[in-house]
Structure 1
Amino acid sequence: MATDVKQDKSLPYPPKSHHTSDPFLQPFLNPSFDPVTYLNTSLPPLSLKSPMPSNHNAVPLSDLASQAQTLLSQLDAHTTRLSDTLTQITDDILRSGGRMSYEVEMLRGEALSLEELLFEKLAEQIGMFVPGGLQKEGEAKAEEVEEKKVKPVEEGGEGSEAKTVAKPQDQVAGGEEPESIKQLRTLTLVRERLDSVIKVFGDAMEFSFPPSEVSVSSGFLSVSAPEPGSDLQSSEEKGQQTLQKLRDEVSGLLNNKQDPVSGIEKAAERIEQLKKLATVWTGTAEEKGRTRFIESLAKMVEDRHRELLRELDARKSEAAATATASQQGRGGGSAAVAREAAGEAQAAGFGLMSQLQRLRGGL
């Protein structure tokens, strides 16, 4: 089969089926096939009895008859083979017709089941994601027709006639979307919201919490440690690793030496994400423990914020003391230089101070 395909690509008229891939059948694949031209091309010309023949390829009548008989035998063989193939394909189609009808009926039943599931059983759940719920195509068109009939004519006379004539033109110009496109847009919206819900619950599954923190936050004392190899111990270890990973992440953001303000902002954004994620456990036994852990992370950010403010105040005090000492050492003539140095120090810390003030308001 692979060899036939390669040969088909090199032929002037590629066959549409391997049944006609024989090179002998190439002339018959030509859309402009002419039987007379085919016979004139396949058979040599007849030699007439004349002293000077006009064509050197001409053959006598006996040779021409022999070649014509050979050509007819080949055509008859191919005709018989293709007729048998056509008969076999027709029988296969007739035999598979019943199976195709059965499969079509199965698809029809599944489509009706899906319609019943969407418009009846899950109508209330779909209405939570799609305002107004799903509507069938026939029902939607019927509602539109009723609205057009019930809608009264506000203005009479020539103005109303002009509006009546202009309305279909506006609809054609606007290009009203088909109902299938509206349904596809609705399904796309449902899929996006489902993906967002799946992502939230996926993040929630990764935010595991140790059972010991849950018991402490609930006010119970743990009498004995979990047995080695138990499911409780594996949950405890996984939860402690998750909490330590989050602490390390926030601590790494706060220890940004190049841009400390940006590090504090990113750490605050990460804590806000954890607060939103913690709403998944609202009303459960883990709510207090998770809230306490997130508050401890927020306290780290606040401590780092206060520390940065103290560093800024110390830097400004040092710059002011340096300027005062320089002024006292050099006398009154250098007062302008001292004021200039103090102004530069204040300008250098002004941008950082404004960012810290804005960050303090957010915290």
Structure 2
Amino acid sequence: MSTSTADPVLQPLSRSRFDAVDYLNDVLPTVTLSSQAQSGKIARTGQLQTASTDLQASLSKINAHNIRTSSDLTVLTDEILRSGNRLAYEVEILRGDVNSFYDLLTDTLKDDIRLFVREEVLSSSAEKDGADAESLPGTQPQQEPAFITQLRRLTQVKERLEAVVNLFGEAMKWPVPPSELGSSLITVSAPELGGIQTTDGDDKARDATKKIRVEIQDLLDSDGGGTAGLEAASRRVEEYRQLAGLWKGTSEEKVRIRFVEGLQRLVDDRKRNLEARGISERSRTGSPHRTASAQGRPARHDGGGLFRNLARLKDDLYLD
């Protein structure tokens, strides 16, 4: 409550139903009329003076309150006039933003929004609208925008680049000992290389190839040395075989192919062992004839492996 309305004389002014006559009757003292002439005249004079004083005091308070109220009203009116222009300007800006947003949704982004709207929503809205169903977006098959096709193409290019980077990264982890590379270029009549000393490159390359052999052996021994480990090792050897194709037509091709064939022999040996183990397990419940035929198979494989090793040794003696 303000200081102007805190005065009990001014409180009635804030009422919704204000009557000036009732207000003056309440504020001013009552004047009594006496029947005696002399005494009544003196009493009326005193009452009139008191009423005049009270009336002047009330009028002064009302006048001061009126001045303050008029000043507040003037300030509020000025603020309303100033804020009215600013409010009108902000309303115009908001209206322009709404119109721009509407145009953006209905024209510019119409095709883009159509890509993300589900067909179920479109079909349900088409049933509600009835005759307007044909004009709804998405009811007819639309062609993919050009940027979607370009994004797919870029994604494929990115995947291929990552595959190439990974492929060359694997190739960098598989060095070839320089001594083996030089020995592959020597003919049958060349002298012995026993006096050639190994270099740091040979040591690093042999460590790398040793790690690869350990990797294949670990895959073979995984899953208890069963079929799952054999399949994983076969896939890894095939990856190394494809990796060796990067050096096709170079002097390193033969060395790398020979190394991959050595890894393949490890896989083939484990495969023969698993086959022999399976045959022996089946022979426990089978006939003696089946047992004899099962025991004869590894001998044929071993003989074939011996001839393959001799043929590979003969090929290593010639140039690439």
Is TM-score (shorter-chain normalized) higher than 0.5? no
Q: TM-score, normalised by structure 1?
A: 0.40
Work out which of the two has the higher radius of gyration on C-alpha atoms and give 1 or 2: 2
Higher relative contact order (CA 8 A, sep 6+): 2
Q: TM-score, normalised by structure 2?
A: 0.45
